[in-house]
Chain A
C-alpha cells in the first residue's frame, strides 16, 4: 500500500509541472499585452518599459518561466497587476466561497444522488425506476446557468414574501457581518505572514466559521444564500451519481454472493445495505472525483449567475483582462486541487479494492 501511495503521488508531479508550463505559455499567447490592457491611453513606449520592468515582464520568456517556477515552489504566486495585491491575498478572500459552494454542491449531489440510484435499482423496471432515470436524464442535460436563473426567479420573485423565499445573489445579507473565529476567541494571529493568512483563509469560510463560533444568525443567513447556487451546481453531478449508482448496484445484485446471502435467508434490505451497496460504491467514488472538474467549471457559471465573487468568476475576469498573475496563480491552485482530489480518489479506490494495488 505504501509503495502504491508513493508511486501514485510521484506520478502527479510531472502533470502539475506540465500544467504550470502550459498555463504560463498559454496566457502569454493571448493577444494584447498587459501594459496596454492596464495603462490604456497612457501606454506610451516609455511608460510600457517602466511597467514591464516593474512587473518583470522585460526578462526573456524562459527566464520568466524559471523565476515563476521557483516562486510557485515557494508558494509565492506573484502580484495581481489589476488589483495591485498579492495573488495569495485574493485567494484568501475568494477561494473560501468557491470551496463552500463546491463542497455544498457535492454534499447535495451525493446525499440525493446515491439514494436515488439505490431506489431506482431496487425498483428496477418499474415506474419508479423510469421516473428516476427520466429525472436523471433531464438533470444531466440542464445548462447550469439556465437552472440558476430559473431558480433565482422562482424563489426570489414567485415565492416573494413567503417563508420559502430565498435570496438570488450575494453571500450574506446587507448588514450581516461574520466575525472570524480568531477575533471572537481573542487570538492574536497578527496581520502578515503565512499563519495569519491561513487563519484569515479559514475564517473566510463563513458557514464553517459561524458554525464553530455559534453565530447562528450568520450561519442561517449564509446557508440561505448558498442554497440556490449549490442546487444549481449540484444538478448535473447528482444526476450522474444517481445513474452510476443504479447501474453499479444492478450489476452487483446479479453476483453469486448476493444469491448466497439471500439463500441464507437475509432480508432484502440487509442484502442491499451490507452486501451489495458497499461493493457497488467503488465506481461511484471514482465518478465523484471526476466531478470536481465539472464543479469548478460550473462554478464560473454559477458565480456569474448569482453575483458571487469566488475564484471562478475572478479567473474569468482575469483571463479576459489579461491579468497574468491571477490566471497563472488561480489555474495552478485549481489544477493542483483537481490533481490532489483525483489522487485521493485513486488512493481510496486502492484501499477499497485490493486488486488495484498489485497492478
Chain B
C-alpha cells in the first residue's frame, strides 16, 4: 500500500509529465475526420470527386477542342462517329487523334465529356442545396411545433413520397417545360421529403434533451432554441444524406436528360449526349459507353464518400 507521501509524489510526477498536457483530446470533428481517413472506400470516393472537380475547373486546359465545335472542315480526314483514335496506341497517323472518338456532329467526344463534368457537378450541388434547405426547414418546423402544423407538413410529404420519384420529376418538368433548370427544381422537389423526415425525427429527439430544457428555462425564444440549439445538433445524419443525395440527383438528372426533359442540345451533358446517340449503340457503342461511364464514376464517387461519412460520423459504429 502506498503511503500518503508516496502518492503525492506520484501525482506530482504525473502533473510534471508534459506530454499529458500537450496531447489534447480530439474534438468530435477531428475524431470523425480521423475515422473517415481510415475508411478506404471513403478515401477512394474523395479521390474520384477531387479528380472530377479538378477536371471541371481546368476543363478549358484539358479539353483539346471546344465542346460545341463542329470539326468538319477544321480538322483533316475527320469523319462522323469515328472510333477512338490514339496515335501512340497504333492508330493510323493519317487520321486525326480523338482519344474518345467523334460524335454524330463531328464534335470531339473527349472534350464534351470533360466539359460535361461541370454540368453534372454544379447540378448535383445546387439540387441538394435546394432540397436540403427547404427539407430541413420544413422538418425542423414540423418537429418543433408539433400539432396540426406537423400533421399538415408531414401528410404533404407523404403524398410526395407516394409517387415514384422519377415519374413525379417527369410530371413537374412537363409542367414547367423541359430544360436543365426545371429538371434541377423537379429533382430537388422529389427529394425534399427525405430531408424533412430525417430532420423531424432528429428534432423530436433533441427537443427532449436537457440542454434544450435548460435553454427554455433560461427564457430563450423558440426560434432561438431551434436555430442555435436544435438544428446544429441535428445536422449529422443530414450531411450523410446530402452527400448520397448528390449521387442520386446526378443519376436522376441524367435519366431526365436521357428522356429529353433535362439538358437540351447542344449543351455537353452526359445524359443527353448518350440519348442523342442511343440509336447508334449497335454501330458506334463508344458514343454511349463513355458518357455513361462518366456518369457512373461521378455517382460512385459521391456514394463512396457518403458511406465513408456515415461510418465516420456514427459513434455507435466505433469498431
Residues of chain A touching chain B, judged by Cβ–Cβ distance below 8 Å, are: 14-16, 18-19, 22-23, 26-27, 29-31, 133, 137-138, 140-147, 149-150, 152-153, 156-157, 292-294, 296-298, 300-301, 304-305, 315-316, 319-320, 327, 331, 334-335, 338-339
User: Nearest Cβ in chain B — how far from A155, in angstroms?
Assistant: 11
Q: Which residue of A lies closest to B271 (CB)?
A: A143
Is the Cβ of A137 less than 8 Å from the Cβ of B303?
yes
Choose among B165, B254, B274, B303 the residue that contacts A293 (Cβ–Cβ < 8 A).
B165
Choose among B159, B259, B297, B303 the residue that contacts A304 (Cβ–Cβ < 8 A).
B259
Is the Cβ of A335 less than 8 Å from the Cβ of B281?
no
Most buried by A among B167, B288, B289: B167
User: Nearest Cβ in chain B — how far from A212, in angstroms?
Assistant: 30
Is the Cβ of A339 less than 8 Å from the Cβ of B162?
yes
Is the Cβ of B162 less than 8 Å from the Cβ of A141?
no
What CA separation (Å) do A20 and B167 show in the bound complex? 14
| B-side contacts of A150, CB under 8 Å | 281, 285, 288-289, 292
Give the 5 A-B residue pairs with the shortest CB-CB distance, closest first: A297-B166, A146-B292, A141-B300, A141-B299, A18-B159
Is the Cβ of A296 less than 8 Å from the Cβ of B167?
yes
What CA separation (Å) do A315 and B159 show in the bound complex? 19
| B-side contacts of A293, CB under 8 Å | 163-165
| B-side contacts of A319, CB under 8 Å | 170-171, 174
Is the Cβ of B251 less than 8 Å from the Cβ of A141?
yes
Is the Cβ of B292 less than 8 Å from the Cβ of A143?
yes
Q: Which residue of B lies closest to A337 (CB)?
A: B164
Is the Cβ of A301 less than 8 Å from the Cβ of B282?
no
Is the Cβ of A15 less than 8 Å from the Cβ of B162?
yes
Is the Cβ of A156 less than 8 Å from the Cβ of B282?
yes
What CA separation (Å) do A27 and B168 show in the bound complex? 11
What CA separation (Å) do A133 and B311 show in the bound complex? 15
User: Nearest Cβ in chain A — how far from B45, in angstroms?
Assistant: 9
On whether A146 and B274 interact (CB within 8 A), knowing A27-B171, A137-B41, A141-B303, the answer reads yes
User: Nearest Cβ in chain B — how far from A205, in angstroms?
Assistant: 21
Is the Cβ of B164 less than 8 Å from the Cβ of A297?
yes
Contact indicator per residue, chain B 147-170, by CB within 8 Å of chain A (1) or not (0):
000000001101100111111001
What CA separation (Å) do A147 and B174 show in the bound complex? 26
- Asked if B177 is at the interface of the complex by the 8 Å CB criterion, the answer is yes
Residues of chain B touching chain A, judged by Cβ–Cβ distance below 8 Å, are: 41, 155-156, 158-159, 162-167, 170-172, 174-175, 177, 247, 251, 254-255, 258-259, 271, 274, 278, 281-282, 285, 288-289, 291-292, 295-297, 299-300, 303-304, 307
Is the Cβ of B259 less than 8 Å from the Cβ of A152?
no
| B-side contacts of A320, CB under 8 Å | 174
On whether A149 and B304 interact (CB within 8 A), knowing A143-B292, A319-B170, the answer reads no
| A-side contacts of B41, CB under 8 Å | 133, 137
What CA separation (Å) do A150 and B290 show in the bound complex? 11
Is the Cβ of A335 less than 8 Å from the Cβ of B162?
yes
On whether A301 and B167 interact (CB within 8 A), knowing A14-B155, A29-B175, the answer reads no
What CA separation (Å) do A30 and B176 show in the bound complex? 7
| B-side contacts of A138, CB under 8 Å | 296, 300
Is the Cβ of A31 less than 8 Å from the Cβ of B177?
yes
User: Nearest Cβ in chain A — how far from B176, in angstroms?
Assistant: 8
On whether A140 and B171 interact (CB within 8 A), knowing A14-B155, A293-B164, A297-B164, the answer reads no
On whether A143 and B174 interact (CB within 8 A), knowing A296-B164, A331-B163, A338-B162, the answer reads no
Is the Cβ of A143 less than 8 Å from the Cβ of B282?
no
Choose among A133, A140, A334 the residue that contacts B167 (Cβ–Cβ < 8 A).
A334
Is the Cβ of B278 less than 8 Å from the Cβ of A149?
yes
Is the Cβ of A137 less than 8 Å from the Cβ of B304?
yes
User: Nearest Cβ in chain A — how far from B253, in angstroms?
Assistant: 10
Is the Cβ of B162 less than 8 Å from the Cβ of A18?
yes
* Given A30-B175, A146-B274, 9 more pairs with CB closer than 8 A: A22-B159, A23-B171, A137-B300, A137-B303, A145-B258, A300-B170, A301-B166, A304-B258, A319-B171
Q: Which residue of B lies closest to A296 (CB)?
A: B164
Is the Cβ of A145 less than 8 Å from the Cβ of B167?
no
| B-side contacts of A305, CB under 8 Å | 278
Is the Cβ of B254 less than 8 Å from the Cβ of A143?
yes
Is the Cβ of A334 less than 8 Å from the Cβ of B164?
yes
What CA separation (Å) do A57 and B309 show in the bound complex? 53
Q: Which residue of B lies closest to A23 (CB)?
A: B171
What CA separation (Å) do A23 and B41 show in the bound complex? 41
Is the Cβ of A316 less than 8 Å from the Cβ of B170?
yes
What CA separation (Å) do A60 and B271 show in the bound complex? 41
User: Nearest Cβ in chain B — how far from A243, in angstroms?
Assistant: 9
Is the Cβ of A30 less than 8 Å from the Cβ of B174?
yes
10 contacts between A and B (CB under 8 A): A143-B251, A145-B255, A146-B296, A150-B281, A296-B167, A304-B258, A316-B170, A319-B174, A320-B174, A338-B163
| B-side contacts of A300, CB under 8 Å | 166-167, 170, 259
What CA separation (Å) do A150 and B289 show in the bound complex? 7
Is the Cβ of B167 less than 8 Å from the Cβ of A315?
yes
What CA separation (Å) do A72 and B292 show in the bound complex? 41
| B-side contacts of A144, CB under 8 Å | 255
| A-side contacts of B282, CB under 8 Å | 152-153, 156-157
Q: Which residue of B lies closest to A142 (CB)?
A: B296
Q: Which residue of A lies closest to B40 (CB)?
A: A130
On whether A26 and B171 interact (CB within 8 A), knowing A15-B159, A335-B163, the answer reads yes
